[in-house]
Every structure is written in C-alpha cells, then in structure tokens.
Amino acid sequence: MSAPVRTRRPRGSIDPDIILHAALDLARATDVDSVSMPAIAERLGVGATSIYWHYRSKDDLLRAMSGAAIHLVWDRLPEPEAGTPWRAYLERHFRAMRAIYRDDDMLADLVLFRIRSYSLDATHVLFQRIEGIVAMLVASGFRPITAWHAYSTLSTFTRGIIVAERSQRLNHSPAVDERHRRLLVPQTMPHLTALLDGEGIALAMVSDDDFEWALARILDGCARLRESER
C-alpha cells in the first residue's frame, strides 16, 4: 500500500491520435470488447479520465477507430489501373477484401459489427474509391446503373461471407465441422450427408468453394448483362 506513484504528465503528452493508436493496438492485441478506458489509459501511463478531454465518450473513440479501420482496409485494396480487364479486377478486389478481414479480426469487428456511425470523412474516402471502380466498369462497356448494381451485389455478398466467417471464429470452435457432422442423420438428411461425405462441402457456408462459386455466378451474370447492353 504505497502512495500513488504516477507523476503528473506534461501538458500535451497525449492527443487524439496517440489515444487512437493505443486503442487500436490494444484492440488488436486483445479483442475489441476488451478495449476499456482504463485499459487504454494504462497503456499510455495516464489517468483514465484524461481521455475524456480528447474524446467526448467511448462511443466517440470507437467511431474514430472504425474510421481508421476503414482506411486500413482500403489502403490494402487494389485500385483499378487503366487496361486491367474488368472481371480480373473485380475478382482481385473482392478476394483481397475477404482476405484482409479474415487476416485481421479487429477490422471486421470495427467495420462490420460494431458500427454505430461512420465518420463523414471515412464515408467520403469510400465513395471516392467506389466512384473509381464504377468509372472503370463504365469504361469497360457497362451502363452506369449496371456497374453500380454489380459492385453493390459483390460488396454485400462479400461482407456477408466475412461476417459469417467471423461469427464462426468467435465460437473459437476448431471442431465446428466435427460437431456439425454428428448432427447429420443420414436417414433424415440424405442430401446433406452425401454432400458432406462426397463433395466435402462445409456446412458453415464460408469455404473458399462457396465464395468462388458465388463470385463466378455473379460475375457471369454481369458479363451477360454487359453483352446485352452494348
């Protein structure tokens, strides 16, 4: 039981950016749920209440974290280059998106799960990039509205599979397929058991096969529309 040891920090020793990065580091090291004001403050050697001078609330801080996460994601996504075939580009784009979120749970948690509201800045960056992709598709012969729907569909599907994969992982059930297997009674579920044993499908619907099948189907549909609209 000694007297409090921490000395008073000099003015300006923390700012919104330092706090933000400490929070992101903490989220990646542990879990977004484990990010608390005291935990962030401890990392910074600061009193927990000091954060409130720079962020109005934890919600405010989380919003900033989501904004940063969106930037991190789009920084790693390829931009369309002049001359890239449209289909190859979209495949690269959405495969990369899936990989990025799968490799970093924090990003999925911040961008796809815990969102209350995006900052306007993050939204602006996002639209800027989508504009570029739509422009590329239009240059490749798509009507603008078709280009939009194509992007929207692929984006929604990809986010869907990412969310499902993340949920799956939250169960931290390495044996999820093992558990699934035991649920399937051949008598009452002949098709699913046959598919599982014969084709090796994953009942969780989040395998590479599921992703690639859907991607190919949607892109086929886009290609056909493009032909018919020219």
Partner DNA sequence: ACCTGAACACCGTTCAAGT
Give the interface with a copy of itself as residue ranges (CB under 8 A): 112-113, 115-118, 120, 123-124, 127-128, 130-131, 134-135, 138, 144-145, 147-149, 152-153, 155-161, 163-164, 167, 170-171, 173, 179-180, 183-184, 188-192, 194-195, 199, 201, 203, 205-206, 209-210, 213-214, 217-218, 220-222, 224-225
Instruction: Tell me which of 52, 74, 148, 157 binds DNA, using CB under 7 A.
Output: 52
Which is nearest to 222 in space by CA: 133, 160, 112, 127? 133
Give least dist CB 139 to a copy of itself, A.
10
Q: Give which of DNA, a copy of itself, none residue 123 binds (C-beta under 5 to 8 Å, depending on kind).
A: a copy of itself
Tokens of 70: 């969106």
Instruction: Tell me which of 22, 27, 46, 111 binds DNA, using CB under 7 A.
Output: 46
Instruction: Tell me which of 29, 30, 31, 49 binds DNA, using CB under 7 A.
Output: 49
Is 72 or 164 the residue whose CB approaches a copy of itself more closely?
A: 164
User: Where do we find the tokens 């007297």?
Assistant: 3
Backbone angles phi, psi at 34, to 5 degrees: -85, 0
Give least dist CB 10 to DNA, A.
7
Return the range that interacts with DNA (CB under 7 A); candidates 41-49, 73-81, 88-96, 137-145.
41-49
What one-letter code names the amino acid at 198? G
Q: What is the DSSP letter of 50?
A: G
Neighbours of 213 (CB within 10 A): 11
Neighbours of 90 (CB within 10 A): 22
Is 27 or 73 the residue whose CB approaches DNA more closely?
A: 27
Q: Using CA of residue 53, residue 66, residue 70, residue 146, what is the dihedral sign?
A: negative
Query: What's the CA gap between 93 and 98, in Å, rounded?
Result: 9
Instruction: Tell me which of 21, 28, 43, 47 binds DNA, using CB under 7 A.
Output: 47
Query: What's the CA gap between 93 and 100, in Å, rounded?
Result: 11
Q: Give which of a copy of itself, DNA, none residue 153 binds (C-beta under 5 to 8 Å, depending on kind).
A: a copy of itself
8 Å CB contact between 51 and 37: yes
